[in-house]
Amino acid sequence: MSDLHANAASYVRNEMLPPSDPPAMQTGAIKWLRENLFSGWLNTILTILGFAAIFFLLKEFTPWFLHGVWKANSLGECREIIAATWGEDAHGACWAVIRERWNQFMFGFYPRELYWRPILALLLLMVALAPILFSERSNKLWIAGGVVAALVLWLSVSYGQFLPVGILVVIAAVTALLGSRGAQWPSNLIWFSGLFPGLAFWLLWGGTVWLPVVAMLGFVVGWIAFRFASTVMGAIVGAGAGVVAAFLWWYFVAGPLVDALTQITGRTQPFWLRGVDSDEFGGFVLAFTIGIAGIAISLPMGIILALGRRSDMPLVKGLCVGFIEFIRGVPLITLLFVASLLLNYFLPPGTNFDIILRVIIMVTLFSAAYIAEVIRGGLAALPRGQYEAADALGLDYWKAQRLIIMPQALKISIPGIVSSFIGLFKDTTLVVFVALLDPLKGITDAVRASIEWKGVYWEPYIFVGAIFFIVCFSMSRYSMYLENKLKREHR
């Protein structure tokens, strides 16, 4: 049999051939190219156009970037250096304007010896944000905290000021005390987040420390009144009593108390910082002040407006709808003009308050109306069953909102809220039209007004645009991170 078999086939393969490589067109880079860049005539054309665009842009701008000059005192000097190093016809960026006017771009006309104050406010902002943004403790947070503390120390040494260290020590001491009583880190810092607004106001504008202290005490007074009244007469009367008490405090007690305390302490350092006027603010200090204040106030305001708009009380609903639609219907510029031209008409004759505060109010109202609409969308997206379940548990309106509805609605609306925040931050550039020195136009115009830098356009725009891009882009990435982290559906 075997013999026959052997005769029938002259060759029998005993082992498999090694698999041959796929055809060259179906492998490696060529395959990737074919699939991703040249998968059809349309795609091929698009790819070629894309490469052409990139090539053109690189060809135009790379020499300009590479020929950049960092050390010069005027545009003319810049051009001379470029002509000397790269030849007569060469173009080049004059980054020296950023280097030379760095302080103006960052701080406007804020007094030079007081730069530590806005920087400290920014560092403390990070501390204040920690318990809000991060709920779990992690090693990264310890490192971040260490870096902030080191920066505060450096600041304090380089400006010869001991106040920053004092503030830091107080924060550390209170946090450690709370920590030893069992409060979790970083959420035991939450008290500082509450104090931060007053502290930041004092650091930025200076003056007596008692003004923010007494103003913040108004909240304490309101809270005490609320606790006291609500145990006696119920939550709703208590809330009313709290608000009334706080307003009475601010209206009647605050002024004389601040005066009296200022008289006692005098103008000594821990109680008094040199005052800085609003017209000395400028650059990114101004943009961040308006942006952060606006973001912080507009979120709670937006929540209240959204709840008002979904309320079943027609009067409350009507007021909220009217407010939201009016604000959303007009451009921010007109609101800013109202702030600068008309707001004084609507205050008691002779009163006046700071232009930056006026602008913050208008920016906040504008942003709150948009956030209200975003949150309304989130509330509408919640299934009815959630509301009914909350009712079935016997929760009252505020408890249901706080424990059941809002956490879910806010989670849904995170992308919308963050893009409103980004919009608000970008809109801080519009304050230039009411004669504030924003970094984009106010400061660059001021820089260009000097004889040395007349005619420098692109470098300041690129620099300011890059900073805005970094801030806004990281905000949008953070919102994506948060969205993913809070995702609870099955994946």
Residues in 392-421 that interact with other proteins by CB under 8 A: none
Contacts with 316 (C-beta within 8 Å, 6 or more apart), sequence order: 308
Alpha carbon separation from 1 to 6, 12, 14 (Å, rounded):
8, 16, 19
One of 201, 281, 421, 453 touching other proteins (CB under 8 A):
201
Look up residue 117 and give its two tokens: 């104050």
The correct pick among 350, 383, 385, 394 for binding other proteins (CB under 8 A) is: 350
- Alpha-carbon span 300 to 371, nearest angstrom: 9
Question: With respect to other proteins, which residue has the nearer C-beta, 46 or 133?
Answer: 46
List of residues 6+ apart from 438 with CB closer than 8 A = 282, 283, 286, 287, 428, 429, 430, 431, 432
**Positions in 166-195 near other proteins (CB under 8 A):** 193-194
Q: Please choose, out of 135-143, 146-154, 179-187, 307-315, the segment that lies near other proteins by the rule CB under 8 A.
A: 307-315
Closest of 376, 366, 347, 353 to residue 430, by C-alpha: 366
The Cα–Cα gap between 436 and 106 comes to 14
Helices 406-427 and 355-381 pack at an angle, to 10 degrees, of 140
Residue ranges in 436-475 that form contacts with other proteins under rule CB under 8 A: 440-441, 445-446, 448-451, 454-455, 457-458, 461, 464-465, 468-469, 472-473
User: Under rule CB under 8 A, which residues in 319-338 are in contact with other proteins?
Assistant: 319, 325-326, 328-334, 337-338
Number of H helices, E strands in the chain: 22, 2
What is the footprint of other proteins within residues 241-260 (CB under 8 A)? 250-251, 254-255, 258-259
Task: Draw the binding track, 75-94, toward other proteins (x: CB under 8 A; -: no contact).
Answer: -x------------------
Among the listed residues 284, 292, 271, the one whose alpha carbon sits nearest the alpha carbon of residue 460? 284
Residue from 22, 35, 146, 170 binding other proteins (CB under 8 A): 35
Distances (CA, A) of 330 to 107, 366, 393, 421: 31, 9, 43, 18
Name the packing angle between helices 210-233 and 235-248 (round to 10°).
150
Tokens of 287: 């943009």
Comparison of 258 and 404: residue with beta carbon closer to other proteins:
258
Least gap, CB of 344 to other proteins (angstroms): 4
Which member of 22, 50, 166, 270 binds other proteins (CB under 8 A)?
A: 50
Using CB under 8 A as the binding rule, the residues of this chain from 265 to 284 that contact other proteins are: 277, 279-280
Stretch that binds other proteins, among 21-29, 62-70, 91-99, 292-300 (CB under 8 A): 292-300
Q: Which is nearer to other proteins, 78 or 332 (CB)?
A: 332
120, 360, 365, 417: which one contacts other proteins (CB under 8 A)? 360
Of 39 and 158, nearer to other proteins (C-beta) is 39
Main-chain phi, psi angles of 40, to 5 degrees: 175, 170
Q: Contact between 53 and other proteins (CB under 8 A)?
A: yes
Smallest gap from residue 107 Cβ to other proteins (A): 11
Do the Cβ atoms of 94 and 72 come closer than 8 Å?
yes
Minimum distance between the CB of residue 148 and other proteins, rounded to whole angstroms? 18
28 binds other proteins (CB under 8 A): no
Q: Which is nearer to other proteins, 156 or 186 (CB)?
A: 186
Taking the CB of residue 286, how many other CB atoms lie within 10 A of it?
A: 28
